[in-house]
A and B are shown apart, each in its own frame.
Chain A
Amino acid sequence: MSAPTESNAAPVIEMRGVTVGALHNTETVVATDVNWSVAPGDFWVIAGLQGAGKSDLLLTTAGLLPPRAGDCRLFGEPMPIFEEPRLATRLRLGLVFDGGQLLNQLTVAENVELPLRYHRNLPHGEIEQAVRVMLEATELLPWSANTPGTLPRPWRKRAGLARALMLKPEILLVDGPLGGVDLRHADWWLGFLGQLARGHPLLGGRPVTLVVTSDALLPWRNYARQFAVLAGQQFTVLGEWAALERSKVPAVRALREGRLPEVTQADPSGTEWTPASGSAK
């Protein structure tokens, strides 16, 4: 069981006793008894190996995947939110998928403008200008007329980010921004997300609450403020980097140091990768 985080501010995301299921397999459970609070301005990194269930946890956090059990809240309101009257609350949260998940029939520019065109009744010129600013900030302008099928994977991820930022969310969930990208793109992502956490001019300088998933902890050392690990169906809140450095749990050490522990090589199923109960020791 994971320990809830302590914060004075009212949590923007709160999970109590949540069981997270898998999106593509109704019988699989990826995490049990998740207790987690995200305060405004937090910058969380959730680390875990591929297949640990990070994406499913993020989908549950975003309200796209109902929890199997427990209580999941966004700004105090129970998730998932599908009703029209509560939609405004849900739009305060943005989600960037691992592969960008762009609509294949639309160009990059059309994908990015889609949320504005659906939710905001703005003049065409105003939408065009907003899209141009966003594409410039994410260096996507040369790709604006391309369809997703002709776009390299790292740029698809960026287009997904640009689309999610169009409604200026207060919380941004980013699934695996560093997965499958080269050093240049990884550096851009770290810098851009760090700037979002501090307050980016794109969003009027307002700091964004960030939750990011990753296969490794080390790249986030100088950027993220809170860390957690998902392994063996257990979600373990570690807290700040200092606490993470003190941890002797094999899973945490492996993700921190970027190398597999001996026990994992002998146990490909990952059962022994499970962190000990409670927070990091």
Chain B
Amino acid sequence: MQDRGFSAFNLPSLRRLWDVPASVSYAHFLGRKLVAFLLTVQGVGAFALITLGVLLTKFGVARGLVHGLVRREIARAGLRLLPMFLFLAAALGFLVIGQTVSWLTRVGAIGYLGTIMVAVVVRELGPLLTALVVLARVGTANVVELGTARATGEVEALEALGIDPVHYLVVPRVIGMAVGVFSLTVYLILGAVASGYLWAFVQDVPLTPGDYFRELAGALSGLDFALLALKTVCFGGIIAVVTCYQGLAQPLRLEEVSSATVRAVAQSLVACVLLDALFIVIYLVAG
């Protein structure tokens, strides 16, 4: 170890790491990670099924109260984020559409505009960006709220009142986030398309609004609309289930709420990306 030529390994902590038998410790590390991943998948899956069961079996229970909660969650995960999404739509339009139109014009390939726009903004960037922003703005708040409620005994209080915590706390959040992500994605795409044309117009790209929107419409199919709705609803549902699971499904102490929040964000992110990859396969097969 004295003279390996790796100056970074002169640090004592890293030297120790280097001395550890790599094959065994890395195998253990990966094994632990894999087991933790599988346990999380199992837990989140079970929690999702329980939530679905409660959603179906208690559909008519306390309708007035629960509908009010659902409206509140839709406002929180959708309506209140609209100004931010208008800003993001403008930025996305400038960044993606403006650049694409500009470059396609230069190489004389403006005919591919619609295909590229639909592939990038409608199928990929719009839903994923929306999901990530909702995760950051509302998902994290979910974990903190529910984790605190769990740590301070509010969940036991609900149970003592004969109120199912999943019905009262989780179901409205799942519906609210699913509707919120879907609606915000639609607004984001529309805003991005509109602001993209404005950017192209500013750059003196020879493209009339009619041609621009005709290109986009020509590249869209019925499948795009159906899969966009399904994908965004799934994104919203996944974020809600994962954040509620981390905040609610296991006993928490107040000091554990912050780590639960970090865990929920990482797991939601991974789940959304994996789901996105699945949808890419569906697009490729169906397209």
Contact = CB atoms under 8 A, between A and B. Distances in A.
Contacts of B159: 64
Contacts of A117: 62, 64-65
Interface in B235-286: 251
Contact of B160 (A64, A84, A105): A64
A103 B154 contact: yes
A18 B189 CA distance: 61
B168 interface: yes
A132 B268 CA distance: 43
A104 B161 contact: no
Contacts of A99: 152-153
Contacts of A24: 251
B75 to A, nearest CB: 14
Contacts of A64: 156, 159-160
A87 B161 CA distance: 10
B39 interface: no
Contact of A101 (B65, B153, B163): B153
B250 to A, nearest CB: 12
B162 A119 contact: yes
Nearest to A163: B161
B157 interface: yes
Contacts of A90: 162
A118 B157 contact: no
A97 B62 contact: no
Interface in B151-198: 152-154, 156-163, 168
Interface residues of B, number: 21
Q: Which among B57, B62, B65, B157 has the greatest number of chain A C-beta atoms within 10 A?
A: B157
Nearest to A62: B160
A137 to B, nearest CB: 19
B62 to A, nearest CB: 5
Contacts of A62: 160
Contacts of A181: none
A60 B156 CA distance: 12
Q: Which among B58, B153, B160 has the greatest number of chain A C-beta atoms within 10 A?
A: B160
B86 interface: no
Given A99-B152, A118-B162, 17 more contacts: A59-B156, A64-B156, A64-B159, A84-B57, A94-B160, A97-B157, A97-B160, A103-B157, A103-B158, A104-B148, A104-B152, A115-B161, A115-B162, A115-B163, A118-B168, A119-B162, A167-B161
13 contacts: A64-B160, A87-B162, A90-B162, A101-B157, A103-B157, A104-B154, A114-B65, A115-B163, A117-B62, A118-B161, A119-B162, A164-B160, A164-B161
Interface of A: 23-24, 59, 62, 64, 84, 87, 90-91, 94-95, 97, 99, 101-105, 114-115, 117-119, 121, 160, 163-164, 167
